[in-house]
Structure 1
Amino acid sequence: MNGILERLVIARTLRVPVPEGGPGAGAAAARQFDAALMSAGFKLSRDLMERLSGMDEGAVLDTAVRVLATVRTMAGDHVRHNVYFRRFPRKVPGTVEFWARCMQKWLLDPVSGDDVRRAAAQGALNLLDFPDYGRYLHTYEEMLAAHDDLIASAKDRVTVLHLGGSLDREIEDLYVALAGSVTPLDAADLEALRLLAEHCAGGRQPDAIPVRENRAVVNLARLNAGLPLLLDTVTDVLRLACALSDGDVTLAEPTRFRSPRRPLRRALLAGLDEVVRDSPAKLGDVGPYREEWKRLGERLHPHEHPAYPYAADVFAVARGEKAARSFAGRVEVLVGAGDVAGAARLLSSAPGMLFRSADRLLRTAESDRDRDAVFEALEAAAGGASGRVVLSLREHLLNRLGKPGRARVFANRLGRGAVVPDARPPLGGDVRKRLAALLDGEIARRLPEAGHLLVDPDVLDVALPMSGKAAASGLGVLPRGSMSPVEGELLRFFVYWKQARHTTDFDLSALMLDGDFLNPAWLSYTSLTQVGGAHSGDITAAPDGASEFIDLRLGEVRARVIIPQVNVYSGEGFEQVAESFFGFMLRGAEQEGRPFEPRTVRMKSDLRGAGRVALPLAFLRGDDGRWRAKWLHLFLRGRPAFNQVEGNRVTTAALVRAVAERRYLTVRYLTGLWASKGGTIEPWDGGRVPDGPVTFVGFERPEGLHEESRVFTPENLRDIVPA
């Protein structure tokens, strides 16, 4: 178990827990370790190198084995990336030429006569019938032999691993950070929290667990450990029941409830009974999940436990045997009657709901008096709303300019995106300004004193992570809406997948558009050499894993928008395969090397989503000629099978355009508020860091920072969001 937790610590913090081992002469082994890390794009910090150099050589080598396995997985180098065209990106044939060659070999193959006659009778040819199509025709070793070694470049990625504390301390710190996060976690971090909570249930706990999903995971560990539960709503109990059945604690997907053991049943009913006994009005929360409560009641048998009468009321409400008007229903009655001021006063007792309803209340208000009442309620309740909700409303205001033809983009918890016209009445300019000033003041009040703020300018356009679900897990991944510079002459995308039980075909494609998101062209298995690039070839099954690549020389690309996408052509989806991930590499014009070189990987993210078409990010060329990445983390529903870039190009273009034109709150916004509080802001150019403690915000922690410094990097950027 400790090995799994150590990997979690390294992958999520880039800190190596203090290795165990006595003193010794480990300098030579430490240098070898560092050299091996460099091949994967990682490096030991100065402090970590010094610590390892003074340790026993055997302990250093043991540490190296564990850490190397972890970082190679982080970069996608834990699997073998073969390509269909052995010399890719060189000697990739044109599509028609390639298909003709495959067909010729098929026609001349003495064992395929029956297939040829059947195809001739049907009047159709199937690429999958060609014996040379869709499967590797050479070994991984033969592919490597066809490529030269990578030429090292100063622009290759180097991710520094820092010295951590003891393993127990690092595990505890990571647990407290994840459990106490003020933003929802993605699926991978939620699973990491589950493992950490089991280990840390009886230890140090965060001051608060504001995200309900996190609370459900922690409650599961506390339930199994016999500790008191953290419950203050009936829905907390429902989420815990989902966790107990290995279901979805977000409640987005239905859970198949199991029948828990009698002691666990009693614990759930006792918790439910206490919540309702202390606040009967909370029965109003049952309605939105009425069906889930009915199914859970069939497993808990509340009628067998007369000691918990208030818990029985929950199931009576779910069955319609007892009335309980929901809080939202009471608000709707007031709004429907035109009593906006009354609705605002009622919502003051639920600050989060009030702030989420602010736009509707303000545009519904018909008089200055009603609008003043809404602002008075917002000002009075501001301190009770979470920082994430306040920031979300501030970002919402950036996109409420009332411009005709403007689109709204939505992304649900599963990352599925949709675009609809914005038909809402506009908010008046004075209303927007007044609300913006209120929100800016509240956010600035919550920010800690920054003191000396050291900022990497490249991080200023990174979007604030209001939800972990707006990003996938992986290396170098940024939240949806972030912009980051793309430096390099050669851009290469890759996808890897390994099927679990059924033959599965993923297709990597790239859609190219002009500055108006029109005039599409693409690279795919149906267009192998177009628009200044090359496709590595179509692989149609992945029992042992498969990879596809797209190579683009940015100087030869005429398009203004590049949208890589992964289509599920057939077989298992992104959530059914054994493993799947996407990423991109950047290289200089002089760099050759293998198709996959881990130290040139700038981003690698897991592919886990409910759609059949994945849109991880887009590349946009600005008026200055420079390329930048715009992070999407979106999925399209797609068709059950046979998805192709040609078939979804219109939907993809509309969705990406909506994200590209939407304005996001970024790190620049928060640093500006920090400056307004009198902090000293200094751009960091990669040079020497100040001697005293600072608040550092950047892509990677610099070496030599004062030990009392606060550091915000992509690994913990969620912590920059004020509580």
Structure 2
Amino acid sequence: MNMQSIMVRRNKVVVEQGQSSLSEVLLATATKNLEALGFMFSPELLTELRTMEDSQFISFYTKLIPILKNAVGAHVEYKPMYPNFPTSVMEAEEAELYLNAIIHYYTNLLPFEEKRERFPLFEKTNLRMLQLASIKDFYQIIRGLISAKTSLSATDQAEVLWSIRNSSDVSTVLPEEIPMKETIAFVVATLLTEGKMNVNEISHYFKTATDVLRLAVALSEGDVSLAGTTKFKKFKRSERRFLLTLLDRMKNPTEDMLKYKGQWIRLGEILHPGEYKNNFQNAYQAFTIIRNNETFPTFSSKVEKALADSNLEEAVRLLSKRPGELARRLDHLLRLSDLPEVVINPFREVASEVSTAVLLQVKTHFQTRNSDQPIRVIFPKGNVAKAVGIENQLPVIPENICLAIVDICEKVLIERFSQLPPLGKVYIEPSLKNMNVPFSQRSASKTLKTLVRGSKFEIPEGNTIRFFTWWKQGANERIDVDLSAMLFDENFLFVDHISYTNLTSTKFRAWHSGDIVDAPNGAAEFIDIDIPSFTQNGGRYIMMQLYTYTEQFYCDMPECFAGWMMRKHPGTGEIFEPRTVENKVDIAAKSRIAIPVILDLVERKVIWCDLSLTNHPQFYNNVEGNLPSTTLMLMSMTSLVKPNLYELFRIHGEARGTLVNEIDDADTIFAMDQGITPFDLEKIMSEFL
């Protein structure tokens, strides 16, 4: 990783201004090569590049190209089983395909097929424009990530950590405030480990016992979301004293520690608080209580007792002391109450203390509370990208009550946003209604286009979807990754699949490039699906899937990624054409099944999933063995309702400016490809939430 790779992920490039004049031939050649990868220089960037000496530009170019190749997946060689795919699969008899597969399974040999000359790519593509950026822009991006009010992805965290480690002055990247607890943990752990700041300079970040636990987890390179268990390292004596000092300063750490009792007990075995009981009596007492299972009344136990005693007013009174918890439990409380004002009025009084993210989620929930969606979707906390779909059995809450909650949230948000700098005249592109707000990117994968789960965007022009995957195994084990596509009709009924067990569809024009089961030097698989043949025969949804047949987790593989292309003329160009790649995602979750995207071909929308599933142990890990769970996943993701960017920006616009209908009249633009876009996640997370 380097500064340039961090910026390229945002379609920006940092260049040093030159004092010469660049050869036009050299610049034109480089520009042509970039086009083959699907990129181009912006006019401002071209102007800056022209000031470089030839040697300076060559150095810049040779560093940039590998980054761009990696971004689209062009850094590896693609050798599918049938090098003339899709033609060779289309022309082969079923028996021939079967025999070729059997021979490969027993010998690892691929069918002999001389590669035919392919006609050059016969279609125009939309190039990604690389914009000019400065080192100052780089620092702003990193500060934006650290300032984000939501969790960061592993890729974002890695970029922050690289920037801290390679910064001679951390004040250039550190903001005045770090609002997200998880971010505090890994940032402070890095500052301490790298010797960038001392303990006195960072102690003010820690407000609760859980903050201290997260720091201990971060120092041990564990999961700072605390969703999983951590094997704590053997801390130095100075580190033990520092952690105990932070904990001892907390007014009442015991209740907070009980939330993660098991992890605190394991941490206590490392910290040995008994050795310091005279110095840190508060911390020692808290450890003693949790270790000895002593009775300790907690806030949650008091709330649950009040609810068990049917004392709703007491439960609401208690929860009002913690407005965020009250907001999250509104639905449950309203279902218990015969007098909704007992719940609504206290919420109105404390709503201004609830975070923006929670208010937006509560607002959206009650706006769609009584919809007839059959499925409710739940995303469990943690680093693995999973979704759980459950039947929607919630009883109806009267619409006037739902609207009262929505109105409270709206008024509080408008008042809050009105305190921010004015935006002037604001234009918001309607398509942003399909783009979700980035509340949690914790388990988001590294992608060419960074998106939020459940977001929907237009499928580009073209008649053929081409899925692809590439993976490589380690030196001592075989890894077999299988690319599959499941096809459903508009009623979510399964109609067909394309996989290693079904290379050619008998119902539609769809083909698989062949099942490769060994990848010491890397292996690739492709799937082509002709859209008209699918939709004209009652098809609607296509779910892209990857399975590890050999049962390894993706996170344990040297490399695995997947993506999709839109091809207008699939018989032209190479099988893998970088400039036709719509998105590429690194598959690295602790899972064995990945679902990158779902395509709705009737609405011509891509539904971004970036999800992972576990396999059912009683079945082979393939498409047939996971049919029930994937059908549920399809229904869940297509019915998912989350706060969208249009609503978020609309409230900002009303609070901070004037909404206009024409983009040319606007001072501030929110759109898919102009002004502030859905891909400016660090800006959205730090400045608009």
- Structure 1 SS opposite 2:555: coil
- Structure 2 SS opposite 1:213: helix
In structure 1, what is the equivalent of residue 158 of structure 2?
A: 191
In structure 1, what is the equivalent of residue 426 of structure 2?
A: 453
In structure 2, what is the equivalent of residue 245 of structure 1?
A: 220
Q: How does 1:275-424 map to 2 (within 5 A)?
A: 276=250, 279-280=251-252, 282-305=253-276, 306-320=278-292, 322-366=294-338, 368=339, 371-401=340-370, 403=372, 406-412=374-380, 413=382, 414-424=384-394
Q: How does 1:460-609 map to 2 (within 5 A)?
A: 460-469=433-442, 471-487=444-460, 488-500=462-474, 501-530=476-505, 531-557=508-534, 558=537, 559-589=539-569, 592-609=572-589
Work out whether 1:698 is the aligned partner of 2:671. Answer: yes
Question: C-alpha displacement at 1:534, in angstroms?
Answer: 1.0
Summarize the Cα distance change of 1:30–1:257 in structure 2 as closer, same or farther, 3 Å threshold: same
In structure 2, what is the equivalent of residue 653 of structure 1?
A: 631
Hey, what's the Cα distance between the residues in 2 that align with 1:608 and 1:235?
Answer: 28
- Structure 1 SS opposite 2:171: coil
In structure 2, what is the equivalent of residue 7 of structure 1?
A: 5
Superposition TM-score, scaled by structure 2 size: 0.90
In structure 2, what is the equivalent of residue 443 of structure 1?
A: 413
- Structure 1 SS opposite 2:49: helix
AA matched with 2:36: S
Structure 2, unmatched stretches of 5+, are none
AA matched with 2:597: L
Question: C-alpha displacement at 1:20, in angstroms?
Answer: 5.7
Hey, what's the Cα distance between the residues in 2 that align with 1:438 and 1:470?
Answer: 31
Summarize the Cα distance change of 1:459–1:59 in structure 2 as closer, same or farther, 3 Å threshold: farther
In structure 2, what is the equivalent of residue 705 of structure 1?
A: none
8 Å CA contact retained: 1:95, 1:528: no
8 Å CA contact retained: 2:148, 2:686: no
Hey, what's the Cα distance between the residues in 2 that align with 1:363 and 1:208?
Answer: 38
Hey, what's the Cα distance between the residues in 1 that align with 2:88 and 2:609?
Answer: 33
Question: C-alpha displacement at 1:194, in angstroms?
Answer: 2.4
- The percent of aligned pairs where both chains have the same amino acid is 26
Hey, what's the Cα distance between the residues in 1 that align with 2:358 and 2:111?
Answer: 50
Work out whether 1:258 is the aligned partner of 2:227. Answer: no
- Structure 2 SS opposite 1:474: coil
Work out whether 1:61 is the aligned partner of 2:58. Answer: yes
Q: How does 1:96-175 map to 2 (within 5 A)?
A: 96-102=94-100, 128-129=105-106, 132=109, 135=110, 143=115, 146-153=117-124, 156-166=125-135, 169-175=136-142
In structure 2, what is the equivalent of residue 219 of structure 1?
A: 188
Summarize the Cα distance change of 1:494–1:220 in structure 2 as closer, same or farther, 3 Å threshold: same
AA matched with 2:416: R
How big is each residue's C-alpha offset from its partner over 1:172-216, in whole Å with a ceiling of 9 and x where there is no partner? 222211111111112222222222333457314224322211110
Superposition TM-score, scaled by structure 1 size: 0.86
How big is each residue's C-alpha offset from its partner over 1:538-594, in whole Å with a ceiling of 9 and x where there is no partner? 111222221111111211113111111111111422111111112111122376111
Question: C-alpha displacement at 1:44, in angstroms?
Answer: 1.0
Which structure 1 residue ranges, 4+ long, deviate > 6 Å from structure 2? none
8 Å CA contact retained: 1:182, 1:719: yes
8 Å CA contact retained: 1:472, 1:607: yes
8 Å CA contact retained: 1:86, 1:146: no
Hey, what's the Cα distance between the residues in 2 that align with 1:711 and 1:485?
Answer: 15
Hey, what's the Cα distance between the residues in 1 that align with 2:652 and 2:191?
Answer: 38
In structure 2, what is the equivalent of residue 643 of structure 1?
A: 621
Match 2:14 to one of 12, 17, 22: 17
Summarize the Cα distance change of 1:55–1:503 in structure 2 as closer, same or farther, 3 Å threshold: same
Question: C-alpha displacement at 1:10, in angstroms?
Answer: 2.5
8 Å CA contact retained: 1:465, 1:717: no
| TM-align CA RMSD | 2.5
Hey, what's the Cα distance between the residues in 2 that align with 1:332 and 1:256?
Answer: 32
Question: C-alpha displacement at 1:470, in angstroms?
Answer: 6.6
Question: C-alpha displacement at 1:136, in angstroms?
Answer: 7.5
Summarize the Cα distance change of 1:317–1:66 in structure 2 as closer, same or farther, 3 Å threshold: farther
In structure 2, what is the equivalent of residue 113 of structure 1?
A: none
Hey, what's the Cα distance between the residues in 1 that align with 2:444 and 2:654?
Answer: 30
Question: C-alpha displacement at 1:491, in angstroms?
Answer: 0.9
Question: C-alpha displacement at 1:43, in angstroms?
Answer: 1.1
Match 1:667 to one of 639, 642, 645: 645
Structure 1, unmatched stretches of 5+, are 107-126, 703-709
AA matched with 2:361: S
AA matched with 1:336: A
- Structure 1 SS opposite 2:554: coil
In structure 1, what is the equivalent of residue 38 of structure 2?
A: 41
8 Å CA contact retained: 2:458, 2:605: yes
Hey, what's the Cα distance between the residues in 2 that align with 1:373 and 1:94?
Answer: 71
AA matched with 2:51: G
How big is each residue's C-alpha offset from its partner over 1:304-354, in whole Å with a ceiling of 9 and x where there is no partner? 223222222332232036543332222212222222222222222322212
8 Å CA contact retained: 2:123, 2:569: no
8 Å CA contact retained: 2:188, 2:215: yes
8 Å CA contact retained: 1:497, 1:545: yes
